[in-house]
Chains A and B, each alone.
Chain A
Amino acid sequence: MKAIIAATILGVIMMFSSILMKDKKAIITIAALLLAVLLGVNIWDVMATKKGSNFTFLFNNMILISREGLWFNMLMTGCTFLYVLLSGKDIARVGTHTAEYFALIFFILTGVYLLSSYNNLLILFIGIEILSIPQYILAGSDKKNLKSSEAALKYFLMGAFTTGILMMGVTLLYGSTGTFELTRMDFIHQSSVNGMSLAGIIFLIIAFGFKVSAAPMHTWTPDVYDGAPTPFTAFMATIVKSAAFYAFIRLFQNTFGGISNHWTIVLSIITALTLFIGNLTAVFQQSVKRMLAYSSIAQAGFMLFAILSNNAVASQGIIIYAVAYSVATIGMFAVLMKLKDYTYDGFNGLAKKEPVLAFVTTIFLLSLAGIPLTGGFMAKYFVLQAAIMQGQLFWLVIFALLMAAISAYYYFRVIIAMYFKQGNPELHEPLSSGDKFMLALTCVLVVLIGIAPQLFLASI
């Protein structure tokens, strides 16, 4: 609650800082400081609610504050903090409006906080819009680059269209249940489980599927992630996607969980398609950035398991997955931003030239592939365990494991290029010791999630 207000006000302060100062370094420092303040407010929020306490309702039951949601907010703000520390310099390099980019990131965080605490379908709608609109701007922030503009326009048009579908779903649900409020929306009475409400749920699946880039609603992802400036791709693929997933699971587990037999089959087909398309297409990519875009589709397939399995392990799993995936991907993109050439050949011989960079990249990629002792393994373990506990998804789990094996191929290709091929990779600027420290810290975090995942779930 405090965090929602703080994020908005800090965003406005950030926006005004562009008028007061022109120095990019100072702006990055201010952004990092304000994010630290926001992280502090989030921690305060978590501390203020007791462990195991009930929900608090605010604003005529429009917002529901739960400790789990606050904990998720805190983790995501932490990831954003890490992201700004890692790639603040690269954000400043995108264009002239540095302070505005950071301000938009604060506004996106407001959307994230709303999505983790909505109790009303209208707040869900507003949250998704607050989350999306700054992204359209960020995707097109490299104004002179044609690909960036294309990405922004494509994302905007598709996003606006999906918003329509979301709204339609909300309307149908309102029509059949007579309320926007999630805690009052019950499907116990047979009368509210009819064609209208089921169509509404399907519409919501499509809209959420678009936001989290699940196949067959994934077609925008490669172009937008590839075209948008790399620092913003890193943000869109991690924190934003995780927030969309958290909103997704909150709605489908708490509200539609009772009638899961009606939508499980649709969602499991979507999951299978997402895993299949994401992993197979990633194999054929030549550019690492585009490969990461497809890999983010593939990872979304795994996160969909949490929504499918509809139990307590799943809601822990989505948090672990969100953190593990976000940290590793932020790290991977930070490495990518240091290089000039985004193709696999651009990584040739990196181990000889920058051993530290190559080593951390290896850890990030191992985590994304889900190798034990890294965060990615624990994340996959949690969601797949949840799916097995659900009981009817065994076929899908086996399919997912096969797909995870395929994903090892394209992740390891980068490692092979770095360690076993000859070449002279070009960097934008030599690594500073600060960069090295931050990358090492990210690396430690990735391993920490893999060794002690309970640390990230401890106080729910």
Chain B
Amino acid sequence: MNFLLLAAEQNTPFNYLPIALQLLIAVGFVGIMMGATHLLGPKRRTKDKLINFESGIPSVGNARQPMSVKYFLVAILFVLFDVEVIFFYPYAVNFRELGQEGFLAVLMFVGFFLCGFIYILKKGALKWED
């Protein structure tokens, strides 16, 4: 290990070797463990063992059915509020310096923002039962 210590004293790409070794060992360990259990462990692949486990009750139908969670809408609404908050942080920091003009600008921003929000509410974005 002497050469490793020697390398560590100089600032060369070579002194990243311990990190590379560490990485190799970590990945190798995980890989070997997973592979070994997979190969060594006993397997009984019967039809009953391969069906989905549903608390012992025989499963009904297919689990892969499309269902509407309106995820997209939730995501967009989240982004909307997220962006609003992003604008509020720098405003909060500069609250005093920006003064009245800054306050009016932020008020206008929130006003436009609320317009969009009221619009999407009126359009029934949060009415989920159909």
**Complex Cα distance A444/B119, Å?**
41
A12:B115 contact, CB within 8 angstroms: yes
**Complex Cα distance A267/B9, Å?**
55
Q: Taking the complex as formed, is B88 at the interface, i.e. its CB lies under 8 A from any CB of chain A?
A: no
User: How many residue pairs, one in A and one in B, have C-beta atoms under 8 Å apart?
Assistant: 10
A19:B122 contact, CB within 8 angstroms: yes
B112:A12 contact, CB within 8 angstroms: yes
**Complex Cα distance A212/B112, Å?**
31
B115:A19 contact, CB within 8 angstroms: no
> Quick one: closest B residue to A97, CB to CB?
B123
B residues less than 8 Å from A8 (CB atoms): 112
Question: Shortest beta-carbon distance, B74 to chain A, in Å?
Answer: 20
Q: Taking the complex as formed, is A336 at the interface, i.e. its CB lies under 8 A from any CB of chain B?
A: no
**Complex Cα distance A19/B123, Å?**
7
**Complex Cα distance A277/B13, Å?**
52
Question: Shortest beta-carbon distance, B23 to chain A, in Å?
Answer: 32
B residues less than 8 Å from A16 (CB atoms): 115, 119
> Quick one: closest B residue to A19, CB to CB?
B122
- Scan residues 1-60 of chain A and give those whose CB is less than 8 A from a CB of chain B: 8, 12, 15-16, 18-19
**Complex Cα distance A8/B116, Å?**
12
> Quick one: closest B residue to A16, CB to CB?
B119
B residues less than 8 Å from A19 (CB atoms): 119, 122-123
- Scan residues 109-130 of chain B and give those whose CB is less than 8 A from a CB of chain A: 112, 115, 119, 122-123
Question: Shortest beta-carbon distance, B69 to chain A, in Å?
Answer: 20
A residues less than 8 Å from B115 (CB atoms): 12, 16
**Complex Cα distance A18/B123, Å?**
9
**Complex Cα distance A15/B123, Å?**
11
> Quick one: closest A residue to B111, CB to CB?
A12
- Scan residues 55-110 of chain A and give those whose CB is less than 8 A from a CB of chain B: none
> Quick one: closest A residue to B112, CB to CB?
A12
**Complex Cα distance A8/B112, Å?**
10
Residues of chain B at the chain A interface (Cβ within 8 Å): 112, 115, 119, 122-123
A8-B112, A18-B123, A19-B122 given; name 7 further pairs at CB < 8 Å: A12-B112, A12-B115, A15-B119, A16-B115, A16-B119, A19-B119, A19-B123
- List 10 A-B pairs, Cβ < 8 Å: A8-B112, A12-B112, A12-B115, A15-B119, A16-B115, A16-B119, A18-B123, A19-B119, A19-B122, A19-B123
